[in-house]
Structures are given as structure tokens and as C-alpha cells.
Amino acid sequence: MPEVERRTIYEKSCCGRRAYSLPATDVPEVPLDELVPAGLRRAAPPRLPEVSELDLLRHFTHLSTLNFGVESGSYPLGSCTMKYNPKVNEVACRLEGFAGLHPYQPQALVQGALELMYELERWLAEIAGLARVTLQPAAGAHGELTGLLIMRASHQAQGRDPRRIIIPDTAHGTNPASVVMAGYEPVAVISDARGGVDLEALKPLLDDDLAGLMLTNPNTLGVFDENITEIARLVHEAGGLLYYDGANSNAVLGISRPGDMGFDVVHFNTHKTFSTPHGGGGPGAGPIAVRDTLAPFLPVPLVGKTEDGRFFFDDDRPQSIGKVRTFYGNFAVLVRAAAYIRGLGPDGLRRVSEMAVLNANYVMEGIKDLYEVPFERRCMHELVASAAPLKEHGVRALDVAKRLLDYGVHPPTTYFPLLVDEALMIEPTETESREDLDRLIEALRAVAAEAASDPQLLREAPLTMPVRRLDEAEAARHPVLRQRFPEDGESCA
Ligand SMILES: *Cc1c(COP(=O)(O)O)cnc(C)c1O
């Protein structure tokens, strides 16, 4: 049997083949010397593959299938909310009136864009249960930094400058990093047996030097901290402010609001909760919402509205911490978020959260006899299981994650949160159907069975992917980022 075609586009190159056909030029040719001075030109023409249009298309179509995306299969990557991003959002942000904007255009000519920002700000404020919003931060971590700088400006406006921010031991890594970047000192508080903040451990940390507490709720164990109003009361009493990491708000939309829980600042990751493709690392948006007392410190400009209904950039905010990003944030991402929120409406958003929680609990029930679930209670939009029971076969969470790829499932987040041994953090998202969830459960169960019957197979997985296990350190130090002509390849020059 002939082998499957595996030649690269360089190996397929054949002198004289072209992927285009253009009519002969009817304008006079300009001598090359007049265009580019000889000293700046390369000595020999570049060696580029010469292929037909069909070869070129096959090349790029093939490349597009090498990566695993949310449109390839289940992508239960906990704490990342890899939900399906409706294509209508892409249509919306590509509308010429949005995509063709220039940031220096006069405000009178961009009223539609300003209106969208004005409305989105209000929707996010309503979802947060807080007063005002800035859309400027470019990502979740950037929102954290902005929120912390606002907390600091607020303390300083009252003539105080406390230095410490309390963070639970389950926190996302960006939280302590942002605290340090904002010039604060992070202080860890341990979790209790139910996975929430340990109140007795918290109390001694509440002193004069307390600037605030940063919390995710539901936290990265996927559980809701029922003591949140008590925590808020204690922190406020000690003069601190409460920061809510709302990167993954998939569990609470339309059900509970951070502002009502007592939080003063919230950031959202629109690219997680409100849908934007983000597997490749960006771009995203990390708007933050704040309580009315903190609103004067928000970055400039905010979008205002005059009495006669005109929208404008409001720069007249003397207590603002200043700008945190050029111009007005990642506008196209904001358009996607607005389209998503508008498309679903309040009832639809609530249903997103109900389905996200239901799906996570369904998966938990389906696997908890084979994988340990250390904090076994109703989970929220994600669950944290543990591959520790497989250790007796010499199989680890990493092996489970790699083997899942062979079943057409993207690995869940592994080894996070840190306080769970061999953690598998699974977030199915609301967009997976019951059949998809069953397949996910079946895959996880099949891998657990293989751990006992054929552990070596798991240690070698994945077996069916374009690449096997990478040496991650080597890949980072000596990345091979391009294909080349084979040494003995034909030269067309
Ligand atoms: C993703 C995430 C962040 C960071 O968001 P980025 O947009 O990647 O900067 C912060 N906190 C939590 C809980 C997250 O899941």
C-alpha cells in the first residue's frame, strides 16, 4: 500500500509551479535599483517553495488540523472556560463600522462604538452588582493590577497606606503576582476542610496593615465559599477592601453578584465568561467593576452620555489612577462580549450558569468512584478530581491528560490547584451536550481502567497525535519554528 502523503510544502516544491495566475502587467516596470538600493538587496533570491494553489491550500488546511481546539472536541480545561464562541460574535466585530475604526477619529464620528462601550459598561456593572466599569484592561491579570492600584489609591485618599493583601492558598497564580506588581505584599490564608477560606486562620491576619483580600468565588476548587458575607464583614471591619477574581464567572451569571456578596472590585475575563477565542493566548479583555466609592479612581477615559444623548470620552476625572492601556482597550473583544451578552439576555445568561454547574456536577458523579474528589460537595462550574488513586499503577495526572488526547478530549488542567495531589481540574462548560459529557466521562473511565491493565501505554501516550510527548524544556530552549528545504532539495534559482 502506498504511504499516506507526508511531504512538507518544501519537499513538494517543484520549480516553475505557481499558486497564482495574474494577467501580464500593463504598467511600465520600474528598474529594481530605483526601488531598493543595491546595498539593501539580498544577493540571491530567497528559496521559497514553488507549488500549485491546491498544494498550498492542502498545506494550510493540514496545518489547521494539527492543533486541538474547542471546535475539535471537548476542551474541559479548568479555570480557562473554553466554551464555544458563537460565530455571530465574529460577524459583529468584523462589521465595517467597528473593524475600520481609528482611535483618533473625532468622537462625533464614532458614536456607535461609544454607545456600545457605554452599554457594555452598564451590563457588566449590573452583572457584578457594582456601580461603574472600566473596559481598558487587556486581560484578567491586567484587570487585577488595575483593581489593586485603585484599592491603593482609595486607601491613600484616606491618608492610609496599608501594605498587605490576603490570598487563599487555592488562588490562581496571577493573584499573588499582581499583588507584588502593585507594590503589595501577598499573605496566604489556608483553606478549611470544605475548601473555603479558614475563618479561624483568617482572623489573626486582619490587622492595621491589611489593604484587602483577593478571592475567587467559586474558588479554584470549584466550590462556593458560603462564609463570604462573614469574610467581607471581617475584612471591611479591619479597613480592608475585597477584590473578586471573576475570571471565570460561568457559575454565577444572573444568580449571585459579587457586589451583593460584599466585594468592592471585580474583574471579568470577557474572553472566558463572555466568549472570545483565547486558546492561543489572546487578545482578551479584563474589564473591572467597582463600588461607587472607588469609581473616582477608575482609569481615564470613561464613556459618558450628555443629556441630549451624545456619547463622549470623559477625561475629567481628577482622582483617576490614569490610563492602564493605550486608547480604549481591546475593542474587538469588547464587541464580542457585547454581542454575546446581548444575544443571550438576562435569562440566557442565567441559563449559561445553570447549565455550566449542572454539567460539572454530572461529570463529577460520573467519575468520582474512579478518581478521588477531595472536596466532595456540590461543585460549581468546574470540579477538581485527583488521579492519586492511579499512582499505585505508576500512573500520574500527566499520563491521564496525555492519554485523553487519544480519545479526542483535550486534557483538563493538571497539578492545579496546588493543594490537591495529582489534581485534574475539569470544566466541561455549558456548551457541551449530554452526549458529549457522556463521552468525556467514558474517556476518563476508560483511561482509569487502562491505568490498571496497561500502565505503560498511558506513560507513552498520546499515540495518535501529530507529536508525542515533547521535552518541554528543550522545546522552550531550542524551538524549531520553521520548516526548511531538505538539504538535497532542488534549487529553482
Ligand atoms: C485565567 C485566569 C486569570 C488570568 O486571566 P488572563 O486573562 O489570563 O490574564 C486570573 N484568575 C483566574 C481564576 C483565571 O482563571
Domain layout of the chain by residue ranges: 87-343
Question: Angle CA(373)–CA(376)–CA(379) in degrees, nearest 5?
Answer: 100
> Cα torsion for 343, 344, 346, 347, to the nearest 10°?
140
**Mean pLDDT along residues 455-472:** 92
Who has greater pLDDT, 181 or 377?
181
The predicted model gives 16-31 an average pLDDT of 91
Sequence-separated (6 or more) residues with CB below 8 Å from residue 464 = 405, 406
Distance CA 231, CA 132 (A): 23
Instruction: Say which CATH topology domain 87-343 has.
Output: Aspartate Aminotransferase; domain 2 (3.40.640)
Residue-averaged pLDDT of the chain: 94
Residues 384/78, Cβ–Cβ less than 8 Å: yes
Grid cell of 344 as nine digits = 443571550
Q: Which of 221, 245, 413 to mutate to test the pocket of ligand 1 (most atoms within 8 A of CB)?
A: 245
- For residues 181 and 479, the model is more confident at 181
d(CA 308, CA 306): 5
pLDDT score of 280 more than 80? no
* Mean pLDDT to the nearest integer, 353-359: 98
Q: Is the pLDDT of residue 220 over 90?
A: no
CA-based nearest residue to 221, from 414, 380, 361: 380
Judging by DSSP bridges, how do beta strands 210-215 and 241-246 pair with one another? parallel
Q: How far is the CA of 19 from the centre of ligand 1 (A)?
A: 42
Which residue's C-alpha comes closest to atom 5 of ligand 1? 140
- Work out which ligand 1 atom sits closest to the CA atom of 79: 15
Residue nearest atom 15 of ligand 1, based on CA coordinates: 79
pLDDT, mean of residues 484-492 = 72
CB atoms within 10 A of CB 63: 11
Mutate to test the pocket of ligand 1, among 174, 268, 325 (most ligand atoms within 8 A of CB): 174
Residue 8 has pLDDT above 90, yes or no: no
Average pLDDT over residues 267-290: 92
Expressed in angstroms and rounded, the spacing between residue 247 Cα and the centre of ligand 1 is 5
Q: Which residues line ligand 1 (CB under 6 A)?
A: 79, 139-141, 172, 174, 216, 245, 247-248, 269, 284, 286
Q: Whose CA is nearest to atom 14 of ligand 1?
A: 247
**CB-CB neighbours of 226 under 10 Å:** 12
> 136, 142, 146, 172: which to mutate for ligand 1, most atoms within 8 A of CB?
172
**Position of cell 471585580?**
266
Q: Which of 163-177, 276-290, 476-490 has the lowest mean pLDDT?
A: 476-490
Residue nearest to ligand 1 atom 2, measured at CA: 247
* Residue 193 CB contacts under 8 Å (≥ 6 apart), including other chains: none
Q: For residue 490, is pLDDT > 70? A: no
Angle at 247 between CA 436 and CA 380, to 5 degrees: 50
> What spacing in Å lies between the alpha carbon of 172 and ligand 1's midpoint?
7
